[in-house]
Structure 1
Amino acid sequence: MGRWQPDARGRLARAALELYVERGFDRTSVAEIAERAGLTERTFFRHYADKREVLFAGSGEMLDVLANAVAQAPGSATAMDAVAVALEGAAAVLAERQEHARHRQSVIDANTELQERELIKLASMSTALADALRLRGVDEPSAALAAEVGMAVFKCAFRRWVDQTGTKELAQFIREALADLRAVTAEK
């Protein structure tokens, strides 16, 4: 595959994930990723700051999806209802990427440094949700709590989705996790 072919960024991302799954994150070099993609290391660094970034590219877009979904939730929506709308928006973005998500998660699960980076990404998502809720007029403690709870729901649903062998969509897992949350908070 020649360097002139389109989608260098996508080719690099696919090559990196393939190599991370085959060899492990730590045993894969930028040179190997570039070679697998049919590109140069220089091209790699034009698209990604480092080899970790390949796994976390797109995080900014996800923050925008969450914030926009909260903003577009009906005016009568509670803070948790707005968070639920946002989580469904995130599920829509990820809907066609289950196999990619499964491989990506397996790479992250095998590396402590990547797990830390994933937690930072999830914290950023929580902050984006809380900020969007505050813009809707939700008070600080409620916005922060709803955002954190929303991310806990997302993490549980996402894990179930990537671990499943069936055909259930991420959005369904999110709805089930929200129902589980309601059941837990209604217990006496």
Structure 2
Amino acid sequence: MGRWEPGARERLVVAAVDLFTEQGYDATTVAQIVERAGVTKSTFFRYFPDKRDLLMAGQETLSRLLAEGIAEAPEGATPLTAVAAGLERASGAMGEFNRDLAPRLRAAVAASAELQERDALKSVSLGAAMTQALVARGVADATAALAGELGVLAFKRGFAAWSEGGREAADDLSVHTSAALEELRAASASLG
């Protein structure tokens, strides 16, 4: 594969996740990642400041899509209905690349305390994006924060179910995130 071919960013992510899974995060070097991806070190550093940031790949886009979906929810929508619109919007950007990479990424994160920390920071960032979008709609801070956290949990649960499930043609991520949000809505109502 030529170093100039498109998809370098995705190849870097796949190479890194595979190497993290095979030999561990700490034992993996940037040199090994670029060799596996078939790109140069300068290409790596064009996309990522260091190997830790590979896990955050796509986070800004995901946060933006969640916030846009919330902002575009119909006027008068409840906070969770707006969150559902954000989840729908973000889910539409997830494809087979994300689905296929998910099990390997989970394994790499589970094996590294540093990657677990990065993953936790990613969740905080997604929650903050949804909370800010809800506050911009006029939702009270505490309600927005709770709805944002439920949105993060719904996304994570839905993504896990989607990536671990069967591969039916009509099975898209939004079905799973929507079901997870409804399950969490019902669970939160039972808290009393």
Deviation larger for 59-68 or 85-94: 85-94
Compute the displacement of 1:186 (Å): 4.1
Secondary structure of the 2:10 match is: helix
CA distance in 2, matches of 1:154, 1:137: 23
Aligned to 2:17: 17
Aligned to 1:128: 129
2:65 paired with 1:65: yes
In structure 2, the CA distance between the partners of 1:6 and 1:149, relative to structure 1 (3 Å rule), is closer
2:153 paired with 1:163: no
In structure 2, the CA distance between the partners of 1:151 and 1:5, relative to structure 1 (3 Å rule), is closer
Aligned to 2:177: 174
Give the length in aligned residue pairs. Answer: 188
Aligned to 2:99: 98
Deviation larger for 125-134 or 105-114: 105-114
The one-letter code of the counterpart of 2:32 is E
Q: Which stretches of structure 1, 4 residues or more, deviate above 4 A after TM superposition? A: none
Determine what percentage of the aligned residue pairs are the same residue: 43
Aligned to 2:82: 82
Deviation larger for 3-12 or 53-62: 3-12
CA RMSD across the alignment? 2.0
Compute the displacement of 1:26 (Å): 2.1
Structure 2 unmatched ranges of 5 or more: none
In structure 2, the CA distance between the partners of 1:9 and 1:166, relative to structure 1 (3 Å rule), is closer
Deviation larger for 81-90 or 18-27: 18-27
CA distance in 2, matches of 1:185, 1:3: 50
Structure 2 counterparts to residues 33-52 of structure 1, below 5 A: 33-52=33-52
CA distance in 2, matches of 1:112, 1:62: 23
The answer to whether the Cα contact below 8 Å between 2:150 and 2:181 also exists between their aligned partners in 1 is: no
Deviation larger for 68-77 or 44-53: 44-53
Compute the displacement of 1:129 (Å): 0.6
Aligned to 2:142: 141
Compute the displacement of 1:166 (Å): 4.8
Structure 1 unmatched ranges of 5 or more: none
Residue deviations 1:74-131, cap 9 Å, x none?
A: 0021011000111122221123320122222221122111111111111111111111
